[in-house]
Copies of this chain bind each other. A is one copy, B any other.
Amino acid sequence: MKNKYFLEWSVGLSEAFGEEPVKMVKAQVPGNANLDWLVGTNMPDWKQGANVNLNQIKELEDKWWLYEAQLPAISLEVGEQLFFVTEGIDYQYRIFINGQEAAEHEGMFSTVEVPVDSSGEMERLIQIWIAPSPKDELGTKDTREEAAQSCKPAVSYGWDWHPRLLPVGIWEETYLEVRPKAYLKNTNITYQLAEDYSLAQVHFAAEIIGDGEVVFTVYDAEATTVLNANNDETKEIEKPKLWWCNGYGEPYLYSFKAVLMVDGKVIDEEVGTIGFRTIKLVMNEGTWEEPLNFPKGRSAAPITIELNGVSIFGKGSNWVNPEVFPGTITRERYLELIDLALEANFNIFRVWGGGIINKKDFYELCDERGILIWQEFMLSCNDYRDSEHYLEILEQEARSIIARLKGHPCLAIWCGGNELFNNWSKMTDQSAALRLLNKLCYELDKDRPYLMTSPVFGMAHGSYTFRYLGGDNREVYEVMPQAHNTAYTEFGVPSISNLETCAAIAPIEELFPLEENEMTIAHHAFGAWMGATWSCLDILEDYFGTAKCLEDLITWSQWQQGEGLKCIYEEARRQKPYCSMAINWCYNEPWPTLANCSIINYPSTPKKSFYDVAAACRSQLVSARIPKFSWVGGEIFSIDLWLLNDGRELIPAGNAKVELQIGDKIYPMQTWDYEEVMPNENLEGPTLRMKLPEVTQGKEEGVIGLGQNAAKRSRNEWQKMTLAIKAGEMSSEYQLHFLV
């Protein structure tokens, strides 16, 4: 059997390669060198205040780092070999073993392994020198543009919700491994499903180093043996249980064990899982009919996920690095975030191209939980130019990533990267990097869809605010019904963070009134994207008036975030089947922000909007299209009623009762008698109208006006107006704003 030995590492920094560090600190492996340094030298907490801007933190990004570990004396049996294996070091490095250079490497997503001679009298030392993070010389200093010629995630170079902090270090599992005289190098299990899914033809293959025989055993979820197979053998499984994503069925996994025998003795084994499913991107209904007139362009690109022959409405969120220092991400962090996704009724994550390719736990957990993965390569918002060196590293990294992930049933789509075909990136269909990735995905993983970027033609990103910024004040309620896209794979509404998250950044008294300063800029309340976009104080002021405390801002912004996101998710669902996906920007965040579009605060604390989104993403939902957020007495309130049905169950005939509650008072609107709704289909219902009562309350009575302008002119008091709809087991509630 292979045996792993984990080492005790220390790490220090230096101005130049080979220059001995003055000081070494204890290193966490996997982890990040600069984080170890911050901890080990008792630096101020980089997550607090404006500490992230401290010179002593910023200057770390141009250092060389030296990791050192003593090699234990390991006695080997005859034929055994010792290897040093790292599954990922961030980002450019040289490995020295016993004073000899053993490897030189660029790229954090590929494994490096080198044989180790542990015999004899020697220094017994492993040293890893890590170079400063790459910075493209053509990129503007201190911006993400510096990432444009490397395969290091661009987000670390600074984003409007991520500090500029360039993690480096041994970020993935790294160990010594004693390997028997023969061992399993790779197992590769592939299958073909019959068109009617009645049969799986499963091919078993293992790469063996040395001589030996492999026997595969497949078990069902109850650990009962399904079959045995030899190497390079194809076996059939009749009526295989299929893997489904959340909301469409059980994410059924078989497991397998590959056992390597030499002379009748087991000397190595590998285990893994198999999920049987087909996945395709098919045309969205209605897109073949467009465009209509000559001169006629092409139809939109297909973006409907078809899982096991069933069209899936993709409901999910954009996954970003859950830690600024990705070396510290644990299985537990992944687990709590992925379990929250189930609670949110999600079935997909878009793993955004600005961040890392995740650790294997992430994909294993998504396999288990039934969350589809849209996996982007590490290109985002830059022009990744066609230099020979860049393409070489990209190919190496992509080959490694594809080989590592392609066995996961959760993996739905490969994508070149984020927003590459827009004018802030300026890549095109002809960019060599994206053609190369298409080629590699085809070569190594032909049956999985590949997109050059998001958005492709037909899809869209945005908007990112409750109402349009800069002159055009259209609310999301107006923007979304006018949109006509095949998928919305980014859209957001920002909010101020939960109180405890804010408190982790600075004392609350320093946060109210919320004003622009180094700390609030560092944590994205100001100076983010187009100014104070994420704290959106002017919008809050317009709608709600002057806040009396931070809690006011939190309540108001999270209210708007929740209502805004409900509007978008539900509108996207109403546009089904022309639209087939709604994925908000964004799910989580890598550190405590003061304001952000995320629906979960760092590390894993849902905002109010999380629960609103969860409600909007239920498979069966009674939904209302609402024209606007603010209303005043005397206006004709109107809603369009819908029944939304995703998944594979029908909605039986029934009726939906609609009520409006203003303050304590309930006004019944109407009851909608609806017919049975087929699985995966929606039903458009009636438009209901009701004259709003003149509610007199507060300083100015009987305000008459329309919507947000009214708010500007005569805001004094507002209260929640709750629209409640109940239909059988389904119910929905919308909280609107009522000016009195």
* A430 B457 Cβ-Cβ under 8 A: no
Query: Does A543 sit within 8 A of B, measured CB to CB?
Result: no
Q: Find A455's partner among B282, B297, B468 (CB 8 Å cutoff).
A: B297
Output the nearest chain B residue to A419 by Cβ-Cβ distance: B298
Bound Cα distance from A446 to B491, whole angstroms = 36
Task: Establish whether residues A302 and B429, one from each chain, have CB atoms under 8 Å apart when the complex forms.
Answer: yes
Enumerate chain B residues within 8 angstroms of A438, measured Cβ to Cβ.
435, 438-439, 442
By beta carbon, the residue of chain B nearest A429 is: B301
Q: Is the CB of A462 within 8 A of B298?
A: no
| Of A289, A297, A468, A485, most B-chain CB atoms within 10 Å | A297
A294–B468 Cα gap in the complex (Å)?
A: 9
* A411-463 at interface with B (beta carbon < 8 Å): 421-423, 426, 428-430, 432, 435-436, 438-439, 442-443, 446, 449-451, 453, 455-463
Q: How far is the CA of A493 from the CA of B628 in the complex (A)?
A: 50
- With known contacts A281-B430, A296-B422, A455-B298, A443–B439 Cβ distance under 8 A: yes
User: Roughly how many angstroms separate A488 CA and B295 CA in the complex, as a whole number?
Assistant: 8
| Contact across chains for B297 and A457 when beta carbons are under 8 A apart | yes
Partner of A421, one of B298, B422, B429, B449: B298
* A43 contacts the other chain (CB 8 A): no
A283 located at the interface, meaning its Cβ lies under 8 Å from any Cβ of chain B in the complex? yes
**In the complex the two chains form, what is the Cα distance from A423 to B423 in whole Å?**
30
Asked if A549 is at the interface (CB within 8 A of a chain B CB), the reply is: no
Contacts of A280 in B (CB 8 A): 430
Q: Does A464 contact B (CB under 8 A)?
A: yes
In the complex, chain B residues whose CB is within 8 Å of the CB of A281:
428, 430
Cα separation A98 to B116 with both chains bound (whole Å):
62
Q: How far is the CB of A462 from chain B (nearest CB, A)?
A: 3
Asked if A76 lies at the interface with its beta carbon under 8 angstroms from chain B, I say no
A23: min CB distance to chain B, Å: 46
Q: A294-B460, A430-B280 are in contact. Are A450 and B422 (CB under 8 A)?
A: no
Q: What CA separation (Å) do A298 and B442 show in the bound complex?
A: 23
- What residues of B have a CB within 8 angstroms of the CB of A436 in the complex? 442
Residues on B with C-beta less than 8 A from A453 are: 298
> Is A288 in contact with B426, judged by CB distance below 8 angstroms?
yes
Is A54's beta carbon under 8 Å from chain B? no
Specify which chain B residues have a CB less than 8 angstroms from the CB of A458 in the assembled complex: 297
Asked if A423 and B299 sit within 8 Å, CB to CB, the answer is: yes
Distance from A69 Cβ to chain B, minimum over Cβ atoms (Å): 42
Which B residue's beta carbon lies closest to that of A465? B294
Q: Which of A289, A294, A295, A446 has the most CB of B within 10 A?
A: A295
Given the interface pairs A301-B429, A302-B428, A426-B288, the reply to whether A294 lies near B421 with Cβ below 8 Å is no
A271 on the interface (CB 8 Å rule)?
Answer: no
Q: Chain A, 459-483, contact with B by CB distance < 8 Å: what is the 0/1 string?
A: 1111110001000000000011001
Which residue of the partner chain B has the closest CB to A421? Answer: B298
Q: Can you list, as one digit per residue, whether each of A499-527 has a CB less than 8 Å from chain B (1) or not (0)?
A: 00000000000000000000000000000
A664 CA / B280 CA spacing, docked (Å): 67
Instruction: Tell me, in angstroms, the Cα distance from A281 to B439 when the chains sit together.
Output: 19
Q: How far is the CA of A451 from the CA of B435 in the complex (A)?
A: 11
Contacts A280-B430, A429-B456, A430-B280 known; A298 to B422 CB distance under 8 Å? yes
Q: Which B residue's beta carbon lies closest to that of A440?
A: B439
* Chain B nearest CB, measured from A186 CB (Å): 23
Task: Give Cα A456 to B299, complex, Å.
Answer: 9
User: CA of A423 to CA of B458 in the docked complex: distance in angstroms?
Assistant: 15
Partner of A428, one of B301, B428, B483: B301
**B462–A294 CB distance below 8 A:** yes
Chain B, Cβ-Cβ closest to A489: B295
Which residues of B are found within 8 Å of A488, using beta-carbon distances?
295
- A residues apposed to B, CB below 8 Å: 280-283, 288-289, 294-299, 301-302, 421-423, 426, 428-430, 432, 435-436, 438-439, 442-443, 446, 449-451, 453, 455-464, 468, 479-480, 483, 485, 488, 491
Which 4 pairs from chain A and chain B are nearest by CB?
A294-B462, A295-B460, A294-B463, A298-B421
